[in-house]
Amino acid sequence: MNFFKFLGSRLLTFFMVVFIGVTTVFFVPRFMPTSPVEAMIGKLTSRASTMDPVAVMTLRESLNESFGLNGSLSSQYFGFLKRVLITHDFGPSLTAYPTPVIEMIGRALPWTFGLLLTSTLIAWFFGNLIGLIAGFRRKTVYSKILESIAIVFYPIPYYIFALTLIMLFCFVFPVFPLTFTIVGSPATLAYWQNILRNAFLPGLSIILTGFGWWVISMKTISTGVSEEDYIFFARLKGLSETKVMTNYVLPNATLPQITFLALQMGTIFNGALITEMLFGYPGVGSLIYYGILQADYNLIMGTISISIIAVATATLIVDLLYPFFDPRIRYK
């Protein structure tokens, strides 16, 4: 009974977060000073020498109807909720008409997940491993060296670090390409080699900047855990330092890091925006940037809504699974 009560409260929180987030996403673009329909009509009229005013009016009405911009703001809002929450339809892109927004997101998602998910997991694993060693054996020389390296990387703003990598390895030492290019067919080895070569530099920037945070946070946590009474008791039992670290310190110090990892997984799209802009990577971040520049309401609402759902889902999964990681927690 306690589990179902716990599950119900978490699901209610999940749906409220998604609802509030999607509602915010709907209203914010409508306060923008530009109208996407008028911008599209302006582009068409600038290319044509003359256009019949009646044809322009008909085109405007047709575009407003296609993009759900007819009627009052409340009717647009409820129509948007129905399309998004029930049919998962964000409508067509205004700038890539008539391509559906969900199709554009579907093409971009594998690129974003492939890069940022892999890079985040690598940074998490090695950062926590080094942080554990640095915190448990904090008096050793190599522990202090590892911590110093992490402290050097941690405070550097991501965009400065990424730009430094671009200047070094795209201009000074032109090892990697400046722009992302796709060559060949997915069935060939050359295609995947090209993908890895293009994704290496943005992936390295994410790993190194995230690495510093994980090392420092894990070192702080493992240092505190190492001072607990049960660690002192384990040493009195004659257990080796390796067993104490892996069997006692590691499980307890990792628990908070699992929560932080889940939150970072959910906010993976926030990092995608800067990373993909700097490296020209064809993911969801590039779509968000493109949609804002072009005042593409549907594209903005689609990409950001997916981001909100990802954050809420990651948080829900951690809430439900956390008792399995920590036996001290029960569904109450």
Distances (CA, A) of 58 to 54, 61, 63, 69, 92: 6, 5, 9, 14, 18
- Whole-angstrom Cα distance, residue 192 to residue 197? 9
- With contact defined as beta carbons under 8 Å apart, do 278 and 330 qualify? no
pLDDT in tens, 94-111: 777 777 888 888 888 888
Please confirm whether the linkage preceding 98 is cis (ω < 30° from 0). yes
Mean pLDDT of 206-217: 83
pLDDT in tens, 10-27: 888 888 888 888 888 777
- With contact defined as beta carbons under 8 Å apart, do 218 and 126 qualify? no
Task: Provide the total of helices (H) and of strands (E) in the chain, helices listed first.
Answer: 15, 0
102-295+317-325 — its CATH code? Answer: 1.10.3720.10
Token pair listed for 6 = 């716990």
Q: What is the pLDDT of residue 36?
A: 63
Average pLDDT, the chain: 77
| Angle formed by the axes of helices 101-112 and 284-293, nearest 10° | 140
- pLDDT at residue 267 tops 70: no
Q: pLDDT grade, residue 325 (50/70/90)?
A: low
Mean pLDDT of 134-140: 78
Percent of the chain with pLDDT over 70: 81
Sign of the Cα pseudo-torsion (185, 190, 195, 198, in order): negative
- Whole-angstrom Cα distance, residue 168 to residue 165? 5
List the one residue out of 101, 31, 19, 29 whose CA is nearest residue 66.
101
- With contact defined as beta carbons under 8 Å apart, do 43 and 25 qualify? no
Place of tokens 């072009």: 294
Residue 283: DSSP 8-state = S
Q: What is the pLDDT of residue 73?
A: 74
Token pair listed for 186 = 């997915």
pLDDT in tens, 166-180: 888 888 888 887 777
